[in-house]
Structures are given as structure tokens and as C-alpha cells.
Structure 1
Amino acid sequence: MEKSMNTSDDFRDKAMIAASSKHRDELLFSYKGILYPSTICYPETFKALESFEARRDDVILAGYPKSGSNWLSQILTDLIAISQKKTPGSESTVNAEEPRLIPFIEMGNLEKYERMTKLPSPRFIATHLRPENLPKSIFKTNAKILLLIRNPKDVATSYYHFSNGLPLLPSYETWEDFFTDFMTKKMAWGCYFEYLSEWNKYADKENIMTITYEEVKENPALSVKNIATFFGIPLTEEQLQLVVERSSFQSMKKNSDKTHGSFGNILFRKGGVSDWKNLFTEDQNEKMDRAFEEHIAGTKLGKKLKYDLYCKA
């Protein structure tokens, strides 16, 4: 594959074209028991990922699909720019000779990792992977990880609309069909409740900060400030406000053509909280409530989610 396959724009466009010619059953493949999109993730890439060398100062964002990863990616890349004495959004933050790499470490081909070794620190790395499937070096180096979680009912709702708008993923004729797959572990990147349960084992580590989608919505300025403090990035009040303004849903949606091309219309739909109330039936509510109780209620991450506040009608 040519190098352009590892720059975000070209990679995304080519993956979309490849997906459009695939049968629905060919859009996902299984690796170590978990499903992944076949046009953006590859078995040989996962194998190479095992020997990936993390750096102590890597800035890592971990979050299940549709938990707000693109939103937090905006915040983190702006904070990294500030740490490098650059102004977020200015031309000085972009090296025209170094096309932007796909931030998600599990996406792309093998050549991507060679290019990543040449990137200056701090590198921004995003992932939807469970901790046991990440490179061991991330935990050996004690690199800092921002773990982003979101109430499961809104994750499912957002994932449903995302799947139906994105050719890379199987689409669904009905919400009922999607809900069944979501609850029976047939989603790309696996079961969300198992994802939360696995990450909960790491929740007490000093190098991991957990933040919820909902708390960032409630108080963006405080959240950005806390994230910057966690990664050791000092901010002036002016810089703080700039990051908050640039990462607002309205601002990101407005700039989505520049940042994500046609993909932006799919990514930035509502950006709200409690949209699940427009889809969930009483029976589905009960099923998800039971799953939450079984997998994650009572744990550190379960309490952090404030399930009774955000997931009870």
C-alpha cells in the first residue's frame, strides 16, 4: 500500500470505496474473538501492534466507539499544540510535509508504525481497543491514558445512527435489530459492557484518568482544565477558553468539512445527552439495566457513569 493510506483523509476515502463493494457480512472480521471493520483494520496490523514501542510522554485517549473520542481528540491535540508553544488551529501546528496520521493506533497498515517512530514528542494516540489488546509497552512505560466513558444507552443510540450512516459498518433496517446485536456482542470493537469491565481493572492506576462524556458536557472548562493538569500542560485563562471554544459541538460541526471531509456529517450528528429516550422501549430499558447491573454496577467506572441519573427514564 502507498503511504497515503496512512494519512487520515486518503485512508478514510479509500476505506469508504472498498466498503461500498463489500457484502454486509464482509464488513467485519474477527481477531482474538472481537469484531473489527475489515476496511480500516487488518490482522497483520494487529500483529505488528504487539511490538509497538510506546513513549513515556505519549498522550493516549482510550474510548469505546461513539463515546466522544473525536471530541476529546480535538481537546487533546489543541493541548499538545499549546504544550509545544503553538496556537491551536494555526498553520504553525500543521507540517505540510508530514500528512496527518490516523490517530487511532489500530487503524491503518504496517508502514504507519514506522512513521510514528519519527514523530516528535508528545505523540497523540487514540484507540477503541480494550486494555488487554493494547501494546504491552504502553503499560510498561506508564504512559498517561485518558479513559473516556459514556452512558451505555446513549452509546448504543449514537452507534446505531453511526452504523446506518457509515459504509464501513453493517447498517440496520430497524433499531430493534441493532439493539439485539449490541446486546449480543456483535458490534465492531466488541461488547461495551465487557469493554468497561476490562478497563475497570486499570481504573485505580495513577497514569489513568477517567472522564465521562456527560461531565465534559456539564462543565467543559473545568474538564479541559483537569485534563491539562493530568498531562502536565499549563494553561493561561485565554488558552483555556480557546480550547473550550474550538471543541464546542457547534464549532467542530462547522469545521467538520475541513477536519473530516464528508465523514464529518456522519460524525457530528447531535452531540447531546439522553437521546436514547427517543428509541428505547420499556423492554429494552430493562434489558440494558440488567446488563449494567451484571457487568459494571458498583465498580469504580460504574459509579462514575451516574447510571441512575443518565439512564433511568
Structure 2
Amino acid sequence: MESKDGVREGADKGGPAADFHERVQGMLERAKQLQPEELTFRYNGVLYPTVLCSVQTLQALGNFQARPEDLVISSYPKCGFNWVNLLLWDIATVNQNESKDGKPGDLSKIKLLEFESARSYEMMKSFPSPHIYGTHNHYNNLPPSIIEKKTKILVVFRNPKDNAVSYYHFCQNNPLLPNSASWDEFFRKYMTGEVCWGSYFDNAVVWEKHVDDENVKIITYEELKEDLAKGVQSIAEFFALSLSEEQIQKIAGRGTFQTMSDNSEKTHSSFGKVIFRKGVVGDWKTLFTKEQSEEMDAKFEACLAGTKIGAMLKYDLYCKE
């Protein structure tokens, strides 16, 4: 958000933990003053949350200056972004020996670009490398400098059925986002891309075109759930961050979803339990009707069948009864 609401200013000045909690309270207060229809705005055809983003910030993204050595994460909302963000911070911290116990650093150091400001981008120029930051935008909406510098991008995907259910609960429990009258209403919005950051499938189709780019790596929520230590090693290797086997095991041990959920109030203030809700694979079965499941199957078939991302998602394993 911009400084006009008195929140961004505090977040930029320092005192990371205190400022972050203060910023959260400011956002909650601002959201209370908005009508449901005012909680989102449209920019270049895509919906964004009003309290978290602004037109000025999205415009300023075009001039954001990435560095080749930056560590970037991109994912559609509720695909495991916060989980992987904290994992990457832990990996980078251990690699650089900045902390003897390798605990994740302050959340303020892990930036989601759309939530920042032109002022923040300018301040980042003085920060030492590497920068760690992320975005929910797909490839075509990344800052041009990321593409030009061939900055490495870790892209996190999750099977669309679990993603839809997780996104639904996130919106229902998050006062900064508009909620839906029912799951059925949300499902219709999700399938038509009328949710923040647009369509999951549009996002995936764009990334599929760049799946073989040398600076892009796709990782899935499900593979991290299957073998977190292997996932940690894969992330470290992609970013050329050297870790011993012992370090990998320790990072995986403190990087489980349950551990991060238990620590979520410290890392994400009152939003912790909203962000880290359940963390399971197969939760879609609690809400999807047979008809909705078949509709999603057809959408997946039309958009991702036969693609590399489609294969990585193991759709038949995770999204079929």
C-alpha cells in the first residue's frame, strides 16, 4: 500500500517485527472502512486486493530493478508461496552463515513485490545481495528487468482442485478480501478468473511456455509434501546455494507445514492461521461436487493435458477419485 493510509510509511522505516504487526492492524482498519465491492480493483484486466496493492505500485513494477543474483519466487495465490518463501529464506541464511541456528529471518526481508511501493523498490537498491522476493503475477506481468537479467525464478504450483479450496477458505477468513456467499459462488468465480490475480489456468498456460527457460524452475506443493528434504535440496541447487546433507535435513525438519503453522503468529501476525490453514493434499474432496470435479477435469484437459506442467502436477493421482 501507499503511504496515504499511514501504513506503508511505518513498514519502510525499520523495526521489522513491530512495524509488520502495526502494518497488519492498519490494513485491517482500512478494510473495515471499505464496502465489499471496494475490496478489489482491476488493473490490466486482472483483479487485485485494494488494501494490499495499488495502481501506483503495479505501474512502478515496470521500473523495478532486479539483479541477476536475486532469488525470486512466483506462484499463483495459495499454491504454497509463504511456505516456500520461508524455506528459501532459511536455505539462504544457512548458506551464508548469517545465523548459527539458521532460523528464518524477519518477514520484512521477504517481500511480495505487489505489496510494496516505488519507495520500497528504491530502498532495495541499497540492500546487499542477494535480494529474496516474490510475486503472484505470471510471467507476462513480471518486471521486465527480471527477464532481461535472467534472474532465477522458482515457480510454485499446486493441483488446481486443492488450490481452489484453499483459496476459498483464504478469502472467507481474510477480512482484506471479498468473501463469497457459498462455495458454489466462489467456484464459479475461480473457474472464470474473477478472483485476485486472475485465472489459475491462464497463469499455468503462460508458465508452460517458459518451463524450459534456463532461469526458471517449476516445483510443486505436492512434491514438497512427498519429500521435503529432497525439495529443499532441489531449491538450493537451483539457486546454487551449497548445503550439507545435515543442513538439508535440519531445514526440512523445521520447515514442515505444521512447524510453520505453529510459528505463524510470530512470522505473519494475526494472519498466520489464515495463511497456514490446513496444509494437506486432497482437501478438495470436502467441497467439490461431482459436477464441479468433472468441470475442473475438463478445464485441466483443455489447458494442461500433455504439457510438462500438467505432468508435474500428477493430476490423475491427486485430482481423481
CA RMSD for the aligned pairs?
1.7
Task: Give 1:5 shift.
Answer: 3.7
Q: Give per-residue Cα distances to partners, 1:129-171, cap 9 Å, x unaligned.
A: 0111111110111111111000000000000000000011111
Q: What's the secondary structure of 2:234's corresponding residue?
A: helix
2:85 corresponds to: 73
The answer to whether the aligner puts 1:39 opposite 2:45 as a matched pair is no
State the TM-score, normalized to the length of structure 2: 0.92
Q: Contact conserved, 2:76 with 2:197, CA < 8 A, in 1? A: yes
- Aligned pairs (5 A) from 1:213-224: 213-224=221-232
How far did 1:20 drift?
1.8
Alignment match, 1:275: 283
> 2: distance between equivalents of 1:118 and 1:191?
35
In structure 1, C-alpha distance between the alignment counterparts of 2:48 and 2:103, rounded to whole Å: 34
Letter in 1 for 2:134: A
The equivalent residue for 1:30 is 42
Q: 5+ residue gaps in structure 2?
A: 13-18
Name the TM-score, length of structure 1 as normaliser: 0.94
2:167 pairs, out of 138, 159, 162, with 159
Counterpart Cα distance in 2 of 1:92 and 1:121: 17
The answer to whether the aligner puts 1:210 opposite 2:232 as a matched pair is: no
Deviations 1:86-110 (A, max 9, x none): 237668956xxxx824510111222
Paired position in structure 1 for 2:123: 115
Q: Which moved more, 1:246-255 or 1:136-145?
A: 246-255
In structure 2, the residue matched to 1:3 is 9
Which residue in 1 is equivalent to 2:135?
Answer: 127
Q: Contact conserved, 1:75 with 1:224, CA < 8 A, in 2?
A: yes
AA of the residue aligned to 1:79: I
Alignment check: 8 A CA contact 2:162 2:282 kept: yes
Partner of 2:234: 226
Distance 1:162 1:62, change over 3 A: same
Which residue matches 2:71?
59
Name the aligned partner's letter for residue 230 of structure 1. Answer: F
Question: Which shifted more, 107-116 or 139-148?
Answer: 107-116
Using the alignment, how far apart are the partners of 1:115 and 1:126 within structure 2? 16
Moved more, 153-162 or 260-269: 260-269
Please give the secondary structure, in 1, of the residue aligned with 2:69. coil
Comparing 221-230 with 235-244, which one deviates more in the overlay? 235-244
| Other-structure match for 1:171 | 179
d(CA) in 1 for partners of 2:74, 2:265: 25
Aligned to 2:146: 138
Q: 1:93 to 1:266 in 2, by over 3 A?
A: closer
| Structure 1 contact 166–266 (Cα < 8 Å) conserved | yes
Segments of 4+ in structure 1 off by > 2 A? Answer: 5-13, 86-94
How far off its partner does 1:84 sit? 1.7
Could you say which residue in structure 2 is the equivalent of 1:237?
245
C-alpha distance 147-45 of structure 1, shift in aligned 2 (>3 A): same
1:264-312 deviation per Cα after TM superposition (whole angstroms, max 9, x unaligned): 1111111010000011001001111111111121111111111111111
Question: Could you tell me how far 1:173 is from its partner in structure 2?
Answer: 2.2
Percent identical among aligned pairs is 43
Q: Structure 1 unaligned runs (5+)?
A: none
Question: Deviation per CA, 1:21-57, whole angstroms, max 9, x where unpaired?
Answer: 2111001100000000011101011111101110000
Q: What is the aligned partner in structure 2 of residue 194 from structure 1?
A: 202
Instruction: Report the Cα distance in structure 2 between the residues aligned to 1:46 and 1:266, rounded to whole angstroms.
Output: 25
